[in-house]
Amino acid sequence: MDDLLVGKIKADMAYEFARTAPPEGFPAFHDISTERHASRAFHELEQEHLWPRTWVIAGRAEDIPEPGDYFTFGDLGVPLLIVRGTDGAVNCYYNTCQHRGAPVVRDERGSARRLRCQYHSWTYEVDGGTLVSVPDERDFVDLDWEVRCLPRAKCDVYAGFVFVNRDLDAAPLADFIGPLAEMIDPFEAAQMREVYRESRIIPCNWKVTAEAFLEVYHFRHIHSHDGVSVLDNRGAAMGLYPNGHSRMVTPYSKQNVQRLGLDGWDDWKQLDHGSTPTADVSGMVDCTSTAVSIFPNVIIPFGRIGFPINVFWPIDAHTTRLDWIYYGLPAEGTDRFDPDALPEAWESRKRSYDAIMAEDEMNMAPMQTSMESPALRGIPINYQERRIWHLHEQIDRTIGVERIPEHLRMEQVLAPYLEY
């Protein structure tokens, strides 16, 4: 994390503390229509035009280290198969046999020299999904082997995460991530390994869950203990990146600064984490809450020795699966964590993170019914909630603004505030 960026964030924070209103000229937001969170019509627009056209995290590269190693991925609503090729590249195919549609592989994870359908043994290469074997070929008249290859989706790896995009015309993953990389690269996440994972089904729209992590306006109201909040939301410094991504760095509260023996909210130094190997990142990460969002459905609150990713998957318009998967740098000499025998430092980190997630979840669950009440005429968004607006703008751009009924559209106003 370069000094220039850290310096800018610190200056932004001082500005945020000092201001008495939104910056001069900042756009006044119109209300967000509650139908964006509640209507079947908007959900269907997302299903048809958002999820099939965006990069999403499907898994981790270290789970398929050798050629032929694969895992399946179904969270985009169509069965996909991610497999390491003989050239080391990670490929994504539709896990649908081009004969009569059986799944090509049935196990969630495995390894195969070739991908052989279990129904009638049509067989495909791990490279290119090329069809290479058809039993009793003589019984097919004019079988065109070329068109019966496994259809592909786009696939690439960043920071150890395997991303897929069903849109073959999508911009490359590196372009999609863009300058957000300045926040993620320093953590050397490719070296990290899964520590543990949790999953919850929550009765609300996926955007309700995502929005809960895009602002800290709620923080002291939901996450205070004995009247003490560890963060001071009034100083939150935010950056909006192209493609709907964003960052938010929130200073510690006075009480927390005192508790940690820091000189002030801006006394950013590396804190001692014992013998655990640490990424070489700014002390800002130890002395603030530093988080990013990857459009559309991932939030990462960073920590020096690791971080969780919070991921939101729509089940239907009113139901979301919220996963959190914690990654960390394994102790020297090991390359994995045993979730059933975590070191005490990780157990305690897990307890505190799961407790925060429970506080957020408790709030999200009852929101949907309440939001759908005719009592809520629209959702007024304030300046410190602008990352929510940014998410919604990008949702519209990805779906295609012209496809969205006018009364549901977001006004596109934040372009002048993006960082490149």
Residues within the interface to ligand FES (CB under 6 A)? 97, 99-102, 117, 119-122
CB of 377 to Fe ion, least distance (A): 25
Judged by beta carbon distances under 5 to 8 A according to partner kind, the member of Fe ion, ligand FES, none in contact with residue 196 is none
Our CB check for ligand FES shows the closer of 105 and 414 to be 105
Our CB check for ligand FES shows the closer of 122 and 161 to be 122
What sign does the CA torsion over 313, 174, 62, 284 have? negative
Judged by beta carbon distances under 5 to 8 A according to partner kind, the member of Fe ion, ligand FES, none in contact with residue 119 is ligand FES
The torsion region of residue 274 among left (phi > 0), alpha (psi -120 to 50) and beta comes to: left
CB of 35 to Fe ion, least distance (A): 25
Residue nearest to Fe ion (CB): 360
CB of 100 to ligand FES, least distance (A): 4
Our CB check for ligand FES shows the closer of 133 and 369 to be 133
Q: Give the whole-angstrom CA distance, residue 242 versus residue 188.
A: 22
Query: For the chain, what is the HEC assignment?
Result: CCHHHHHHHHHHHHHHHHCCCCCCCCCCCCCECCHHHHCHHHHHHHHHHHHHHCCEEEEEHHHCCCCCEEEEECCCCCCEEEEECCCCCEEEEECCCCCCCCCCCCCCEEECCEEECCCCCCEEECCCCCEEECCCHHHCCCCCCHHHCCCEEEEEEECCEEEEECCCCCCCHHHHHHHHHHHHHHHCHHHCEEEEEEEEEECCCHHHHHHCCCCCCCHHHHCCECCECCECHHHCEEEECHHHCEEEEEEECHHHHHHCCCCCCCCCCCCCCCCCCCCCCCHHHCCEEEEEEECCCEEEECCCCEEEEEEEEEEECCEEEEEEEEEECCCCCCCCCCCCCCCHHHHHHHHHHHHHHHHHHHHHCCHHHHHCCCCCCCECCCHHHHHHHHHHHHHHHHHCHHHCCHHHCCCCCCHHHECC
CB of 89 to ligand FES, least distance (A): 25
Judged by beta carbon distances under 5 to 8 A according to partner kind, the member of ligand FES, Fe ion, none in contact with residue 339 is none
CB of 206 to ligand FES, least distance (A): 33
Judged by beta carbon distances under 5 to 8 A according to partner kind, the member of Fe ion, ligand FES, none in contact with residue 157 is none
Judged by beta carbon distances under 5 to 8 A according to partner kind, the member of ligand FES, Fe ion, none in contact with residue 99 is ligand FES
Judged by beta carbon distances under 5 to 8 A according to partner kind, the member of Fe ion, ligand FES, none in contact with residue 360 is Fe ion
Our CB check for ligand FES shows the closer of 99 and 304 to be 99
Judged by beta carbon distances under 5 to 8 A according to partner kind, the member of Fe ion, ligand FES, none in contact with residue 120 is ligand FES
211 near Fe ion (CB under 5 A): no
Our CB check for ligand FES shows the closer of 42 and 122 to be 122
Our CB check for ligand FES shows the closer of 122 and 163 to be 122
Our CB check for ligand FES shows the closer of 102 and 345 to be 102
Q: Give the whole-angstrom CA distance, residue 53 versus residue 169.
A: 9
Our CB check for ligand FES shows the closer of 40 and 100 to be 100
CB of 130 to ligand FES, least distance (A): 15
CB of 137 to ligand FES, least distance (A): 12
Figure out which of the listed residues 360, 385, 393, 396 binds Fe ion, where binding follows CB under 5 A: 360
Our CB check for Fe ion shows the closer of 75 and 360 to be 360
CB of 222 to Fe ion, least distance (A): 6
Site residues, Fe ion (CB under 5 A): 360
